[in-house]
Amino acid sequence: MSNIDWIILVGTLAFIVFYGVWKTRNVKNVESYLLGDRDLKWWTIGLSIMATQASAITFLSTPGQAYEDGMRFAQFYFGLPIAMVIIAVFFLPLFYRLKVYTAYEYLESRFDLRTRTLTAVLFLVQRGLAAGITIYAPAIILSTILGWDLFTTVLIIGVVVIFYTVMGGTKAVSVTQKQQMIIILGGMIVAAIIILNKLPADVSFQDTLGVAGKMGKLQVVDFSFDLSNRYTIWSGILGGTFLFLSYFGTDQSQVQRYLSGKSLTESRLGLLFNGIFKVPMQFLVLFVGILVFMFYQFTPPPLHFNRGNVDNIEQSSYAPAYKQLETDYQLVYQEKQTAIKDLMLAIEQEDETAIQAAQTQVKTYFQQDSSLRAEAKTLIQKQNTFAKVKDTDYVFISFIVNYLPVGLVGLLLAVIFSAAMSSTASELNALATTTVIDLYRRSIVKDRNDQHYLKASKFFTILWGIIALSFAATADLFENLIQAVNIIGSLFYGAILGIFLIAFLFKSVQARAVFLGAIVGELIVLITFTLSVYGYIDLAYLWLNLIGCIIVILLSLLFQAIFGDSPPTPTKVLDR
């Protein structure tokens, strides 16, 4: 990396951090620290919500996913605007009326302290583990590509985030996220323009779309109703609404973003801003992946994108076999050129017969191409059984490092670091807030002054930061850690959503019924998971989210019918 790139990378990140610290230098009490004085405008809230959801892995993986699988992943977000509207209508006014710090506080006014504490603990377990992964996942990719030490990369991301989150609390998180989102969006737009300019002079934008479309890369919407197909318009709208409702409505890392709004209006507008711009933003990120795909139709791509794996195999006894695969891959690439030119010409002349012939020809080369890439992966795994051969996460970053001009490499790396920091900052902030408000101040140390709880909030931010860092730094000791964390999340997320849906939708259900329903429901989820681990049942872990939610709702209704508690009391004033 050149000195200019270093200056841009360090300068951008340092500017954002110091801007955040400077803007929040007057944070002097708990409300100010945890809710940012509730004075944020809608655009800051909207950008902050987007930045929290978009982690670094989004910007590393999504273009790679489009490169491999086309644009259909965009459908995953189709339920998001619907969820934003539902939260703005039903969730938000309730949270505002009770002036809560956390989503779980509401559960005490609706049910009781036990339910609030249980839900807060479930959140802390899953989000505490996820915070480590939010740092670790991009760090392992960045360290491989840039040749940096993994521990140093983890430390750079972690220490910087902990610093400004501790200094300025939630307001620092939001104001830095605003800057980070501007850098992220600006960086992705610049990347798209540069890639277009790097295509051969005789390949127009129309040609790019034409060839990508004929290769099946521009199939954004799929109306087929197939439960085994992960991305269709139906799974996006039905499943997506459910998923985003639970994420934005009950996960404190998101709830805290919109609770820091100046008014209900500002918070609502912030959510709707996300509802309007999130889908186009994901489209842009995926489209950058398509442009990278098209770039590599006219520039020889590497056989395998993970440089670390390639370096290892080139120094092993498998080097000659790998070299042979590379030679074959380049031959296929050369032959594919003629077929692509034929396809472009046929599209231009609108000759359907010629289009189909050229399309078949190009697809044949793509199959050869894919099978050579698969052989390379098999070889890499033969050389090192533990090597992670899925290389789509490395497609965009290796393009950035190898093909972007000096200066832009630094800017795009700043994009990825910014995304890692913005998500982690929200997570640490939410973990500290939930620990202080729902556990420490509510049940452990109750009657101390504001300054004590301010110090406690800073202490817990550092503590959660250290936990996340330790987890991230030792993550490579565990095999398939990302999946492990997703499984842990799936074990608890369903129960949390179930509790909230009972609170919102079933006014007759009371505290005892929902608490028992949540405990028994959670146990059933854990037993189901254990049975699937030992092979007694065959169930993908993602289904545990839905199963947990439905079981908690059904059990709560059942227990309510059995116990027949008294009708609901009016909303209580929260005892903080």
Partner 1 sequence: MRQKPPFDEEAPPIFTTWNQLYCFVLVLHLIIICLFYWLTKTYS
The residues of the shown chain that bind partner 1, judged by CB under 8 A, are 71, 74, 78, 81-82, 84-85, 88-89, 93, 96-97, 209-210, 212-214, 216, 218-221, 233, 263-265, 268-269, 272, 275-276, 279-280, 283
- Chain centroid to CA 16: 21
Q: Which is nearer to partner 1, 223 or 386 (CB)?
A: 223
CA–CA gap between residue 12 and residue 34 (Å, rounded): 26
Shortest Å, Cβ 97 to partner 1: 6
Q: Which is nearer to partner 1, 275 or 410 (CB)?
A: 275
Shortest CA distance to 472 belongs to which of 462, 482, 460, 463?
A: 482
CA–CA gap between residue 248 and residue 270 (Å, rounded): 12
* Burial classification of residue 565, based on how many CB atoms lie within 10 Å of its CB (0-12 exposed, 13-18 middle, 19 or more buried): middle
CA–CA gap between residue 161 and residue 214 (Å, rounded): 44
Name the residue type at position 499.
I
Shortest Å, Cβ 502 to partner 1: 24
CA–CA gap between residue 411 and residue 252 (Å, rounded): 31
Q: Which is nearer to partner 1, 81 or 239 (CB)?
A: 81
Shortest Å, Cβ 208 to partner 1: 10
Shortest Å, Cβ 279 to partner 1: 6
CA–CA gap between residue 421 and residue 413 (Å, rounded): 12
Shortest Å, Cβ 277 to partner 1: 10
Cβ(8)–Cβ(407) below 8 Å:
yes
Name the residue type at position 140.
I
Backbone φ and ψ for 250, nearest 5 degrees, come out as -125, -10
Q: Which is nearer to partner 1, 283 or 403 (CB)?
A: 283
Residues written for the chain: 576
Q: Which is nearer to partner 1, 279 or 397 (CB)?
A: 279
Cβ(514)–Cβ(502) below 8 Å:
yes
Residue with token string 């109703």: 225
Cβ(514)–Cβ(499) below 8 Å:
yes
Q: Which two tokens stand for residue 307?
A: 């440089």
Q: Which is nearer to partner 1, 116 or 214 (CB)?
A: 214
Q: Which is nearer to partner 1, 207 or 438 (CB)?
A: 207
Shortest Å, Cβ 77 to partner 1: 10
Shortest Å, Cβ 213 to partner 1: 3
Q: Which two tokens stand for residue 567?
A: 């009708």
Beta partners for residue 359, in sequence order: none
Q: Which is nearer to partner 1, 283 or 506 (CB)?
A: 283
Q: Which is nearer to partner 1, 81 or 168 (CB)?
A: 81
Q: Which is nearer to partner 1, 214 or 307 (CB)?
A: 214
Q: Which is nearer to partner 1, 80 or 137 (CB)?
A: 80
Shortest Å, Cβ 575 to partner 1: 21
Shortest Å, Cβ 228 to partner 1: 20
Question: In angstroms, what CA-CA distances link 463 with 132, 383, 422, 460, 469?
Answer: 13, 40, 18, 5, 10
CA–CA gap between residue 140 and residue 60 (Å, rounded): 11
Q: Which is nearer to partner 1, 266 or 391 (CB)?
A: 266
Instruction: Provide the terminal-to-terminal Cα distance of the chain, rounded to the nearest Å.
Output: 52
Shortest Å, Cβ 562 to partner 1: 35
Write the CB contacts of 285 (distance below 8 Å, at least 6 apart in sequence). 58, 59, 62, 63, 66, 188
DSSP 8-state secondary structure symbol assigned to residue 384: -
Q: Which is nearer to partner 1, 70 or 158 (CB)?
A: 70
CA–CA gap between residue 213 and residue 199 (Å, rounded): 17
Q: Which is nearer to partner 1, 219 or 370 (CB)?
A: 219
Write the CB contacts of 340 (distance below 8 Å, at least 6 apart in sequence). 211, 297, 298, 362
Q: Which is nearer to partner 1, 78 or 164 (CB)?
A: 78
Cβ(392)–Cβ(296) below 8 Å:
no
Shortest Å, Cβ 356 to partner 1: 13
Shortest Å, Cβ 219 to partner 1: 5
Shortest Å, Cβ 88 to partner 1: 7
Q: Which two tokens stand for residue 268?
A: 């609502």
Interaxial angle between packed helices 42-53 and 408-434, expressed in degrees from 0 to 180 and rounded to the nearest 10? 100
Shortest Å, Cβ 209 to partner 1: 5
Shortest Å, Cβ 42 to partner 1: 9
Cβ(157)–Cβ(417) below 8 Å:
yes
- Count H helices, E strands: the chain? 23, 0
CA–CA gap between residue 126 and residue 494 (Å, rounded): 12
Name the residue type at position 38.
R
